[in-house]
């Protein structure tokens, strides 16, 4: 055959070109054999492509499992070496062909390292090599999602320009030992990208505050969740502590779909939630209590899995430690924050203060402006849209439109994202504490 398909050609393109050559150059008595050869070639190319996809998925699984050295070795053996540092991008392809998206990413300068997203054939994960950029974890003060960000690779803007329905979430620059953290950040940024007119969002300081305070808040989270974790079922059909924690976690994340996800009747779900309220001494109708429980669950999950926060590793002694066990509420080995007791939420943590300042800074007028007032009213009315609209003298559609606009400024989906209300509640608590401290210091200076 005169046509030798290049390795980068798709099976369909290679087979089509070969059939055209057969019709043009092969005598009639040999065409049947040539057609058979073209089918075999297309099948061989498909097998090669499938093998490479499986290998890339294996490399990605190693990276997410913290085995960066093994992943790098396997990638080099494939002839597709991993970058030393990269931004992790999660691409929701929408109605675009994932292969076309992958091809565009592969033709970037430098080319991206692309793999199919775990559990979603219509999504891609791409490692966008960082050229001359510094490696960073969570950097308070990062640009807000949806804003013009010159640090983003040009291929991201080009991709959303060519495919307007595509959505992309991008992490900060991370080295390959932190690929799993970058992937989590990119997934969060993807949820904000739906609100961005450009179609892409970069992970900013807003998201995942538990990463900033995992060590310091571990004792607080232990104290909040211990009454639930210690609960013992009286009958075989009753929920135990693990069931209650799982129920609370799923309900906080999905609300209306919680019963279906848990596989229980809605009456059973209601009974479990009433038991959670009684044991924890909380009212799940109040945004304060929901926010504290959500943050406690997220901090505890990090500590249990031994994850690292943005400014240091979680104390290894806390790994897989049952709630309420020794070393919990009064563990003196944990890092203390001035002005915060060990069993309290560490609102005075400097990293958390920077996080809140960076997150609220895009609001018009800052924390005392009209946008902040709207958000405070919404939180004061337990994130209930109708009640907040009445307090703001707005119609419900008007209040919804305003919250969507403010959410777009902040990079948060206030009406749907699972953790948005908890993160916003925490940011205002931290900002108010910082402001009261500054005012108190100023008053002391005047008095002296």
Contacts of 74 (CB under 8 A, 6+ apart): 55, 58, 59, 62
Question: Region 371-380: what's the mean pLDDT?
Answer: 94
pLDDT at 24 over 90: no
* Averaged pLDDT, 281-303: 90
**Which letter does DSSP use for residue 256 in this model?**
G
**What whole-number distance in Å separates Cα of residue 443 and Cα of residue 248?**
43
For 107-151, what is the HEC assignment? CCCCCCEEEECCCCCCEEEEEEECCCCCCCCCCCCCCCCCCCCCC
pLDDT of residue 253: 82
| Residue where the block lists tokens 């049952």 | 322
b/e map 124-148, b = 16+ CB within 10 Å: bbbbbbbeeeeebbbbbebbbbbee
Query: What pLDDT score does 224 carry?
Result: 92
Is residue 410 a contact partner of residue 206, using CB atoms and an 8 Å limit?
yes
More confidently predicted of 48 and 224: 224
Please, how many CA atoms are within 13 Å of residue 339, restricted to the half-sphere of its CB? 10
Percent of the chain whose predicted confidence (pLDDT) is above 90: 20
Q: Which residue has the tokens 């001035």?
A: 338
Residue 285 in this model has a pLDDT that exceeds 90: yes
Task: Tally Cβ neighbours within 10 Å of residue 362.
Answer: 19
More confident residue, 330 or 410: 410
Residues 6+ apart with CB under 8 A from 373: none
Q: How confident is the model at residue 143 (pLDDT cuts 50, 70, 90)?
A: very low
Over residues 22-36, the mean pLDDT reads 61
Name the more confident of 13 and 241: 241
> Most distant CA pair in the chain: distance in Å?
106
Q: Residues 141, 127, 107, CA angle at the centre, nearest 5°?
A: 120
Is residue 4 left, alpha or beta, with left meaning phi > 0 and alpha meaning psi from -120 to 50? beta
- pLDDT band of residue 346 (cuts 50, 70, 90) is confident
Please spell the DSSP secondary structure of 321-352, one letter per residue.
Answer: PPTTSTTSTT-TTSPPBTTB-TTS--TT-HHH
- Digit-coded pLDDT (tens) for 381-432: 999 999 999 999 999 999 999 998 888 778 777 887 767 888 899 999 998 8
- Cα gap 37→31, rounded to integer Å: 10
Tokens of 327: 């070393």
CA–CA distance, 286 with 385 (Å, rounded to integer): 14
Pick the residue with more confidence: 156 or 131?
156
Backbone angles phi, psi at 368, to 5 degrees: -110, 5
- Structural contact between residues 56 and 66, judged by C-beta atoms closer than 8 angstroms: no
pLDDT value for 244: 92
- Asked if pLDDT for residue 19 goes beyond 80, the answer is no
Highest mean pLDDT out of 29-33, 296-300, 310-314: 296-300
């Amino acid at each position: 055959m005169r046509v030798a398909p290049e390795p980068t050609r798709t099976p369909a393109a290679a087979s089509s070109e070969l059939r055209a050559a057969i019709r043009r150059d092969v005598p009639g008595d040999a065409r049947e054999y040539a057609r058979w050869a073209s089918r075999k070639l297309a099948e061989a190319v498909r097998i090669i492509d499938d093998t490479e996809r499986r290998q890339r998925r294996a490399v990605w699984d190693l990276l997410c499992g913290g085995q960066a050295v093994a992943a790098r070795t396997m990638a080099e053996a494939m002839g597709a070496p991993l970058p030393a540092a990269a931004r992790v991008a999660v691409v929701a392809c929408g109605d675009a062909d994932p292969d076309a998206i992958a091809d565009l990413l592969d033709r970037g300068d430098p080319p991206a390292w692309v793999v199919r997203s775990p559990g979603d054939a219509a999504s891609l994960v791409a490692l966008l090599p960082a050229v001359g950029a510094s490696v960073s974890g969570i950097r308070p003060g990062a640009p807000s999602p949806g804003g013009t960000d010159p640090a983003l690779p040009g291929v991201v803007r080009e991709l959303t320009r060519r495919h307007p329905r595509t959505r992309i979430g991008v992490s900060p620059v991370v080295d390959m030992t932190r690929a799993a953290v970058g992937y989590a950040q990119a997934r969060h940024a993807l949820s904000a990208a739906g609100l961005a007119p450009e179609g892409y969002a970069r992970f900013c300081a807003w998201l995942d505050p538990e990463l900033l305070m995992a060590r310091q808040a571990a004792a607080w989270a232990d104290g909040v969740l211990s009454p639930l974790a210690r609960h013992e079922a009286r009958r075989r059909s009753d929920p135990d502590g693990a069931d209650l924690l799982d129920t609370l976690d799923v309900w906080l994340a999905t609300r209306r779909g919680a019963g279906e996800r848990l596989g229980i009747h809605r009456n059973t779900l209601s009974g479990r939630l009433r038991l959670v309220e009684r044991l924890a001494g909380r009212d799940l109708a109040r945004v304060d209590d929901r926010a504290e429980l959500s943050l406690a669950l997220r901090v505890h999950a990090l500590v249990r899995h031994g994850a690292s926060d943005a400014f240091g590793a979680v104390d290894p002694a806390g790994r897989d430690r049952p709630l309420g066990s020794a070393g919990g509420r009064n563990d003196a080995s944990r890092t203390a924050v001035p002005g915060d007791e060990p069993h309290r939420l560490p609102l005075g943590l400097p990293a958390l203060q920077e996080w809140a300042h960076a997150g609220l800074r895009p609001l018009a007028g800052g924390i005392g402006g009209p946008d902040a007032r709207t958000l405070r009213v919404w939180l004061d009315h337990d994130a209930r849209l109708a009640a907040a609209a009445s307090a703001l003298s707005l119609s419900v559609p008007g209040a919804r439109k305003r919250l969507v606009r403010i959410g777009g400024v902040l990079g948060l989906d206030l009406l749907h994202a699972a953790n948005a209300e908890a993160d916003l509640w925490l940011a205002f608590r931290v900002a108010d504490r910082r402001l009261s401290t500054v005012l108190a210091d100023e008053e002391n200076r005047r008095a002296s």
